[in-house]
Amino acid sequence: MAASSQNTTSSRALRDAQLIDSSGAWAKEARTAASDRAQAAGLPQRRDEYWKYTRPDAFVQADVTLQASLRRSLEIFDQRTTVLVTFEDGKIQSSALPSAAHCTLESLMSASALDLHWARDIYGRLEAAGQTPVQRSLAAVNTAVAREGLMLNVTGAVAAPIHIHATSSGQTDAIIHNVIKVAAGAEVTLIETGQYGARTNSVLEVDVADGGRFHHIRVQDGDERHLLTHIFGKIGAEATFKSFTLTAGGQLTRNECVLQLLGDDASVSVAGACLGDGPFHHDDTVFITHDAVNCESRQVFKKVLRNGAVGVFQGKILVKAGAQKTDGYQISQSLLLDDDSQFLAKPELEIYADDVACSHGSTSGAIDAQALFYLRSRGVPEAQAVDLLTLSFVAEAIEEIEDADLAQDILDHLTETLSAR
Amino acid sequence: MLNIKNLHVKLEEEDKQILKGVNLSLESGKVHAIMGPNGSGKSTLSYVLSGKGGYEVTDGTAQLEGVDILDMEAEERAAAGLFLAFQYPVEIPGVGNMTFLRTAVNAQRKLRGEEEMSAGEFLKVVRAKAKDLKIDAEMLKRPVNVGFSGGEKKRNEILQMAMLEPKMCILDETDSGLDVDAMKLVAQGVNALRDDKRTFLVITHYQRLLDHIKPDVVHIMANGRIIKTGGPELALEVENNGYADLLEETA
């Protein structure tokens, strides 16, 4: 199926990108291949099963009509020393790129100007591998046209987290493509805060080699915004991959995470907590493929919804033949604070090995009346008691964060966000 | 301290009268016990007094130090000095016991227009009180009541009571699910809080708890009413003869 609407930003961008591309050989090649993938797949349609619960229209329509605003979420981690990388209106501030031991930081722009670059083995490759069995054409569009992003090459244990903070104002459209390579035995934490644009299409490709450790903590806020993110991860033997996302704002968010466990004894965790209020639609779509022995994967998603907010979860664990001793865990839960809110969940398991333990659960519920009374009987006013029970509800997702200090920062931010609303 | 007059209560959802004219007068500094068979309305009385939803007061009043409490929110009653030790304390995963205690203490202070307790001061006070109840630092850090044994949960209730320093304490079957040693420890905690300004209403099935928390007055409740009031000897009578004689007497 070819792209049906020629008048979309995405297809226009594809055409323009090819006309002006003066990049080095590897980047040109990756972009051309991605462009072909996108053209062949066509843009997502409302009738696509894969987009059943979230309308793709907002991501493919021609013009962005939202007004981004500058947010202060940088302060969430201000108790921590971080290596700060900033984006303004979708552009990486490359003149101010910091340096840190055991890693190199470059912009996509400068990396793609070279004829040879380490990112060649990752950029668009992991995204392409994540196109089956379901096509994610907007990620392919991203690979084809993205000009902005961070290329992070991690060769050892990086002490302080690498912190991307993005600010944006006005009707900005951002296409961001970040690539991270974690060498064997290396370790890094990536923090992402702020918003790249009023409308953002972002791709993060992460290659974690054997014994490598990657931690990702992301805070998505901003009032008026549409956000589509893709994470594509390739995880080697005995490696660790952990990604946590807190979403506390925005009108439309879809976070896709596609992970391939390719080496034995690896461990991954994808977790999310979201607070939805009013015109808020939040979609977590996860696909984890076990293609090695004795790997563990965890998906932990908690959504707190009120005033008509909608939460979506589509999570799948695919256990390939031979991926014995797989331990897969998947939980998606919503706390509906009123009758107007909605949670739509589609948990899936597909298992071709016979010695595996996979569990999944999905629930929707209201605030527990007994717990609410317990708190109020101790003098905690109702609104504050509901906030405490909300924190209690999302705690399991936050506990997926390994670093206790960063987890505390997230908890504090969440507490503040709750008491401010 | 607490005056209950002609209290009639029915379930909100169904047309079922639970309390059918309860009269009780609890003086400052006294310990009153309420005993009674299952379904007599003891727990309902404790819930209605502390402000739990689902009940409808159809007649009567309840005043704490002369102030009508039945129209107050649960948190306002707590701030006014009322405390209910739960029969089944609720587990709250993900919220640390210490956070919970501090939130409660400061929420009450705020409602009363008092200054909040500083983190340092709070820590000092809570550690001292926890020690008396043999609650260790680990238990203070753990999520509220999660993974606590029956005894730990009840001790945690008494710790909350000690921190909140209420004037009127209602203990709803605090002895349920406790072994002898745990019951002694809980009773010690309660006795340590007894003084001439604090009043207790101890609800129990068994006389056993009253060996450790000695009541001044014992009431027998049945079928939504107080049917007999007497001294501690009344509890012993129940222990020896059961409720049947008393019920017949008043039938």
pLDDT digits (tens, 9 = 90+) for A167-182: 988 888 999 999 999 9
Provide the pLDDT for residue A245.
98
| Residue A15 confidence class, pLDDT cut points 50, 70, 90 | low
pLDDT(A157) > 80: yes
Closest chain A residue by Cα to residue B164: A378
| pLDDT value of position B45 | 96
Range B6-23 average pLDDT: 93
Cα distances (angstroms) measured from residue A24 to each of A102, A108, A149, B19, B62: 26, 11, 16, 84, 83
Among A310, A372, A308, which Cα is nearest to A339's?
A308
B138-157: average pLDDT: 92
A338-356 mean pLDDT? 96
B-interface mutation test, from A378, A382, A398, most B Cβ less than 10 A away:
A378
Which of A270, A314, A262 is closest to A290 using CA atoms?
A262
State pLDDT tens for residues A213-228: 999 999 998 878 899 9
A384 to B107: CB separation less than 8 angstroms, yes or no: yes
Q: Quick count: other Cβ atoms within 10 Å of Cβ A160?
A: 16
Q: How far is CA B17 from CA A223, A392, B204, in A?
A: 51, 36, 22
pLDDT bin (cut points 50, 70, 90) of residue B241 is confident
What local confidence, expressed as pLDDT, does residue A21 receive? 66
How confident is the model at residue A390, as a pLDDT?
96
Domain boundaries, chain A: 9-366
Q: Which of A15-24, B156-165, B199-208 is least confident?
A: A15-24
Say if the Cβ atoms of B107 and A379 lie within 8 Å: yes
pLDDT value at residue B133 = 84
As given in the structure block, the two tokens for residue B52 are 């739990």
CA-based nearest distance A410→chain B, Å:
13
Residue B50 contacts A where some CB pair is shorter than 8 Å: yes
Place of tokens 């293609």: A291
Q: Return the pLDDT at A18.
A: 61
* pLDDT at residue A70, as a whole number: 65
Checking if the pLDDT of A2 tops 50, the result is: no
What is the spatial distance between Cα A300 and Cα B67, in angstroms, rounded to a whole number?
48
Average model confidence (pLDDT) for chain A?
Answer: 92
Q: What integer pLDDT is reported at residue B251 of this predicted model?
A: 58
pLDDT in tens, B166-184: 999 999 998 888 888 889 8
Read off the pLDDT of each residue in B89-112 and give the average, rounded to a whole number: 93
Q: Which one is predicted more confidently, A71 or B159?
A: B159
The mean pLDDT of A329-350, rounded to a whole number, is 96
Nearest Cβ partner for A380 among B53, B75, B89: B75
Q: Report the gap between the CA of B184 and the closest CA in chain A (Å).
A: 24
pLDDT at B219: 96
pLDDT of residue B176: 85
pLDDT digit string, tens, across residues A99-141: 999 999 999 999 999 989 999 999 999 999 999 889 999 999 9
Write down the pLDDT at residue A4.
42
Of B78, B95, B160, the CB nearest to A391: B95
- Give the residue with greater pLDDT, A10 vs A55: A55
Least confident of A160-164, A166-170, A235-239: A166-170
Sign of the Cα torsion A51, A164, A115, A233 reads: negative
Confidence of residue A5 (pLDDT cuts 50, 70, 90): very low
Candidates A287, A295, A267; CA nearest to A355 is: A295
CB A351 within 8 A of CB A320: no
User: What is the reported pLDDT for A64?
Assistant: 73
What residue ranges define each of the domains in chain B, with the CATH number in brackets?
2-250 (3.40.50.300)
**pLDDT band for position A97 (cuts 50, 70, 90):** very high
* Residue ranges of chain A whose CB lies within 8 Å of a chain B CB: 368-371, 373-382, 384-385, 388-389, 391-396, 398-399
pLDDT of A337 reads 95
Q: What's the pLDDT score for residue A6?
A: 41
